[in-house]
Amino acid sequence: MRKSIVIIFLLLITSGIVPAEIPDGTIALDCPDAPRAKFQFHFTRELITLADTTAPFDRVTDLYIHTYHYDADIFDKFVRYYDETLKVENWRCLHEDSGVRLYVLELPSAQSSQSNKAILGVFAVVQSASDMHLLNIVGNIPPHQIRQLLANLGQVGIEVPALKSLDAQIFQKFETPPEPIRLPTLFRTVDDLPHFFSIGFSKKEAPSQFGLAFSRSHNESLHGHWTYYGHPIERIDIRSEKKNSIAQVSQALQKGSADIQEVLNNLPSPNTSEYKQKLIVRAWERSATIIVGNIPDQKNEPSMLAKQFRTEAGAPIHEIRIQGYQETHPDDVRKALEKGPEEIKKALIALPGEMSGLEAVHFQIEEEGARRTAIVTIVETPLPSRFYFHSAPWAGFNRVTGWELGARADSGFRKQKSSNRSYDLSAPREFRGDDLSKFFGRVGYGFGNKQFYYRVGGKAAWGEPDAWHLGLTTQLHRTTSAIAPDLFPFYDDTGMTILRVLGVPDHRNYYLREGIEVALQWRPIRQRHSFKLSLLAESQESLQKSTDWHFFNWRSKSKARENPVVTPGRMQTALFKYDYSTRHDFLGWHNTFLAEYSSTALGSEFDFTRYQLHLRYAHPFGKHQVRTRAVGSFSTAPLPVQRQFIIGGPGILNGYPLYAFAGDRGFLFNIEYFYHLPQLFRWKLFIWETNIIDLSDPNIFSVFFFDMGQAWNMSDESYIFEPKINAGIGLQFGDGDLILRFNVSKAFESDQGIRFNTMWFYSF
């Protein structure tokens, strides 16, 4: 008897120290007499990981979905059954209306603290116009991520629109407001920006004599109660060039979420490269500024850095003001600061070591009420002289010249507050030293055809880099030139050199030019327009292929394509060219009109006038794109080969051989639709512990294209409209300067077979 009592006592003690079982968020979808589901699936952790591993899906272990044909009686039956079942299991009804019942299971308070609160399960009964859904999500999910989880179910292939549109206030019933995050420090410039930076808008603030304005902004101020990551905001200033945009933002702020960033994330934005959203938060004033649209930044307007800086004592720095720069770009200062330590003193001391051209950095902290501002003065290393001389080696390679080795140089005088950027790869190509008067030259020797090549001259420049530019260039040259270069505007010769060395086929045909050229170029404000008038007097000759070599063809057993002959002779022409471009990241307009006149009366051996209109437009649709091109060419007389309209080959007429058709007149039309393929994988490459390359969202496109063109000669007895047409599909990797594209195309002619080609550049 005594022994039995001891055993019972030990069992009671043991049962008392066994930890309470953590409830499970799984609900059996077993409603009696339920109809057969037309779709049901169980997403395991492994399947969820394949689709998405970011928050909040990284905290989900199982996801169950059952879909039924819509029936009001079934919805009411499911609601009654699961409401009773869930209440027994201590689930909480978070929301109920005529179409949605939403329940959550919270981690019991005895097993949680303020820092580890979690939702163990989510259950929803949802009816739509044609379907009825049962949804059960199981995991360990932070409460503040529940709304995000339901709104982004599409990332794992589940579309339930009613769950996306749930009011944010529903989820505030049980969420604990997070601690306010540390707000980023504001960054502001004090002085006028260097000339090479202000390329977009005139500094002249006087009104136009004609009463015209290039940009105009509207403003509105709202007063109320909002937050920005937990920080209270009581006044919001909205700025845009369109009143309806301000009304849209104002309405979203008054009816949407209380969090400003969430409101901005949900705003629809047009698919234009110039549209922007900018937010400036002044926490010490409890105010914020929202800028939307295509308007330029105001002078010395602040922006938010990527982090918050602090003093040695840990007090936050609300704003950093930069002054004293002349040659230094403020954006370079910003990037260096964001890479440095958060302590402002250490970050500023490190600047001269991180940036060239800085001698020292001085700063002081000013306090005004609740605001703490760091005034930073940059001391630049003085330039020894305004005169500069830059030189660099140069190398080229093609099947005509073989290896061409040489050097290039330019020299001149810097402007008072603008450094020369001829070889600065961080500056846009069209502005690298383009505003300077200078002498330039390049000389090289082609080891394949054993000939010297050169280009020497000078340029006189006038104007304001941020308003207008006028340049007069004179040059003597003996150089190779490509036939029909406008058909491959992004076929960069420098970048293609490496590919040609590696054996990638060269699409260009070449000829020799030797003579003189005088050109006058003008770019007005905003630099979207460009006008060029040039006079050319030179001899032109054919060039023959001199080598079959490339890196993988040491013994030249495989043969490169022959270089076709041109019409030799003395050519003297006057050429007018107009360009209009809004291109940014290869999107927008780029239109060109040119007219070239050559006459035997001027000493030329050729007598013709030719005109060409080249229209190109690329427009985004979300992540998709449509690209179009239309070219028309006309001449008044037969043209030499090197001036003919030539079509055929990759990027032009994909279903035909390269340069298959040529003539004195012609037209070309291309249209391509780029369909952005969904994310298929999430890969990241690491070196040591630093994330070097993120391949989590590669830009891969399916390209559907249609090409049509025709070329004919004046000598033809009569013109017959018989264009060459092809269509095809391609696969493109990348959408920037470096792309790789594979095409499969078929011409609309029975004697033309299926053609495969590869492209590594945009053709238009």
What does DSSP assign to residue 648? -
Extract the runs of DSSP E, i.e. beta strands, from 115-192: 119-127, 131-141, 186-189
Residue 609: its pLDDT value, please?
Answer: 97
pLDDT category at 429 given cuts 50, 70, 90 is very low
Q: What is the DSSP string of 510-535?
A: EEEEEEEEEEEEEE-GGG-EEEEEEE
What does DSSP assign to residue 503? T
In this predicted structure, the answer to whether residue 200 has a pLDDT above a threshold of 50 is no
What does DSSP assign to residue 653? B
Bridge partners, residue 189, by sequence: 322
In this predicted structure, the answer to whether residue 514 has a pLDDT above a threshold of 90 is yes
Q: What is the 3-state secondary structure (H, E, C) of 313-359?
A: CCCEECEEEEECCCCCCHHHHHHHHHHCCCEHHHHHHCHHHHCCCEE
273 and 397 assigned to the same domain:
no
Residue 466: its pLDDT value, please?
Answer: 52
In this predicted structure, the answer to whether residue 3 has a pLDDT above a threshold of 60 is no
Pairing mode of beta strands 438-446, 402-413? antiparallel
In this predicted structure, the answer to whether residue 688 has a pLDDT above a threshold of 60 is no
More confident residue, 620 or 3: 620
Containing H/E element for 410? strand 402-413
Q: What is the DSSP string of 60-102?
A: EEEEEEEEEE--HHHHHHHHHHHHHHHHHTT-EEEEE-SSEEE
In this predicted structure, the answer to whether residue 234 has a pLDDT above a threshold of 80 is yes
Whole-angstrom distance, CA of residue 96 vs CA of residue 527? 58
Whole-angstrom distance, CA of residue 645 vs CA of residue 647? 7
602 and 518 assigned to the same domain:
no
Whole-angstrom distance, CA of residue 200 vs CA of residue 700? 32
> Per-residue pLDDT tens for 102-140?
999 988 765 655 556 788 999 999 998 888 999 999 998
Residue 207: its pLDDT value, please?
Answer: 38
> Is 708 inside a domain boundary?
yes
> Per-residue pLDDT tens for 371-390?
899 999 888 887 666 777 88
Collapse the DSSP code of 628 into the 3-class scheme (helix H, G, I; strand E, B; otherwise coil) and give the result. strand
Containing H/E element for 150? helix 146-151
47 and 144 assigned to the same domain:
yes
367 and 391 assigned to the same domain:
no
> Per-residue pLDDT tens for 487-509?
777 776 667 888 889 888 888 99
Q: Which residues touch 37 (CB under 8 Å, ≥6 apart)?
A: 66, 67, 68
Containing H/E element for 281? strand 276-282
More confident residue, 632 or 719: 632
Domain final residue pick, 380, 405, 432: 380
Among 69-78, 189-198, 306-315, 674-683, the least confident range: 189-198
Domain final residue pick, 324, 357, 380: 380
Whole-angstrom distance, CA of residue 278 vs CA of residue 260? 12
Tally the domains of the chain: 4
Q: What is the DSSP string of 565-605?
A: P---EEEEEEEEEEEEE--BTTBEEEEEEEEEEE-GGGT-S
In this predicted structure, the answer to whether residue 10 has a pLDDT above a threshold of 80 is no
> Is 408 inside a domain boundary?
yes
In this predicted structure, the answer to whether residue 760 has a pLDDT above a threshold of 50 is yes
531 and 603 assigned to the same domain:
no
Whole-angstrom distance, CA of residue 1 vs CA of residue 12? 17
Query: Peptide bond preceding 56: is omega within 30 degrees of 0, i.e. cis?
Result: yes
Asked whether the whole model's pTM tops 0.85, one would answer: no
Q: Mean pLDDT, to the nearest integer, of 729-734?
A: 92
Q: What percent of the chain has pLDDT over 70?
A: 82
Whole-angstrom distance, CA of residue 510 vs CA of residue 513? 10
HSE of 626 in the Cβ direction (CA atoms, 13 Å)?
Answer: 6
283 and 349 assigned to the same domain:
yes
Residue 241 CB neighbours (<10 A): 16
Q: Mean pLDDT, to the nearest integer, of 625-644?
A: 96
Q: What is the DSSP string of 599-616?
A: -GGGT-S--EEEEEEEEE
| CA neighbor of 392 nearest in space, from 406, 378, 371, 403 | 406
CB-count exposure of residue 238 (10 Å: 0-12, 13-18, 19+): buried
> Per-residue pLDDT tens for 460-485?
888 765 567 788 999 999 999 999 88
Residue 142: its pLDDT value, please?
Answer: 85
- Evaluate the CA torsion angle 518, 523, 527, 531 in order and state its sign: negative
361 and 431 assigned to the same domain:
no
Asked whether the beta carbons of 26 and 121 are under 8 A apart, the reply is yes
Distances (CA, A) of 749 to 332, 670, 745, 746, 753: 56, 18, 12, 8, 8
What does DSSP assign to residue 560? P
Whole-angstrom distance, CA of residue 427 vs CA of residue 435? 13
Residue 112: its pLDDT value, please?
Answer: 54
361 and 394 assigned to the same domain:
no
Whole-angstrom distance, CA of residue 459 vs CA of residue 474? 7
Among 37-46, 318-327, 428-437, 721-730, the least confident range: 428-437
Residue 111: its pLDDT value, please?
Answer: 60
Residue 738 CB neighbours (<10 A): 10
Q: What is the DSSP string of 686-743?
A: EETTEEEEEESS--EEEEEEEEEEEEE-TTSSS-----EEEEEEEEEE-SSSS-EEEE
Asked whether the beta carbons of 124 and 103 are under 8 A apart, the reply is yes
Average pLDDT taken over every residue of the chain: 82
pLDDT category at 571 given cuts 50, 70, 90 is very high
Containing H/E element for 237? strand 231-240
Asked whether the beta carbons of 696 and 682 are under 8 A apart, the reply is yes
With the CA atoms of 140, 143, 145 and 148 taken in that order, what torsion angle do they form, in degrees rounded to the nearest 10? 110
Distance of CA 698 to the CA centre of its chain: 12
> Is 550 inside a domain boundary?
yes
> Per-residue pLDDT tens for 732-742?
998 877 788 99
376 and 391 assigned to the same domain:
no
Query: What's the CATH number where 756 sits?
Result: 2.40.160.50
Tokens 């007005």 identify what position? 524
Bridge partners, residue 407, by sequence: 393, 443
> Is 471 inside a domain boundary?
yes
In this predicted structure, the answer to whether residue 233 has a pLDDT above a threshold of 50 is yes
In this predicted structure, the answer to whether residue 246 has a pLDDT above a threshold of 70 is yes
Residue 165: its pLDDT value, please?
Answer: 84
Whole-angstrom distance, CA of residue 203 vs CA of residue 244? 28
pLDDT category at 205 given cuts 50, 70, 90 is very low
Distance of CA 213 to the CA centre of its chain: 29
117 and 194 assigned to the same domain:
no
| CA neighbor of 168 nearest in space, from 90, 253, 247, 83 | 253
Residue 554: its pLDDT value, please?
Answer: 84
> Is 502 inside a domain boundary?
yes
Asked whether the beta carbons of 70 and 38 are under 8 A apart, the reply is no
> Is 478 inside a domain boundary?
yes
Whole-angstrom distance, CA of residue 406 vs CA of residue 732? 36
> Per-residue pLDDT tens for 536-548?
999 999 999 999 9
Range of the domain at 394: 387-566
> Is 707 inside a domain boundary?
yes
Asked whether the beta carbons of 406 and 445 are under 8 A apart, the reply is yes
Among 33-37, 50-54, 361-365, 428-432, the least confident range: 428-432
Collapse the DSSP code of 489 into the 3-class scheme (helix H, G, I; strand E, B; otherwise coil) and give the result. coil
> Per-residue pLDDT tens for 304-336?
888 889 998 888 999 999 888 777 778 888 888
- Residues, the chain: 764
Residue 431: its pLDDT value, please?
Answer: 34
669 and 733 assigned to the same domain:
yes
Q: What is the CA radius of gyration of the chain?
A: 34
**How would you list the strands of the sheet with 371-380, edge to edge?**
303-304, 186-189, 319-323, 371-380, 358-368
Distance of CA 484 to the CA centre of its chain: 29
Q: What percent of the chain has pLDDT over 90?
A: 36
Domain final residue pick, 350, 380, 410: 380
447 and 535 assigned to the same domain:
yes
In this predicted structure, the answer to whether residue 213 has a pLDDT above a threshold of 50 is no
Distances (CA, A) of 651 to 483, 728, 757, 759: 16, 11, 9, 8
Residue 271: its pLDDT value, please?
Answer: 58
Asked whether the beta carbons of 485 and 507 are under 8 A apart, the reply is no
Distance of CA 99 to the CA centre of its chain: 40
| CA neighbor of 107 nearest in space, from 25, 19, 17, 175 | 25
> Is 17 inside a domain boundary?
no
What does DSSP assign to residue 679? P
| CA neighbor of 124 nearest in space, from 97, 157, 156, 155 | 97
Residue 703: its pLDDT value, please?
Answer: 96
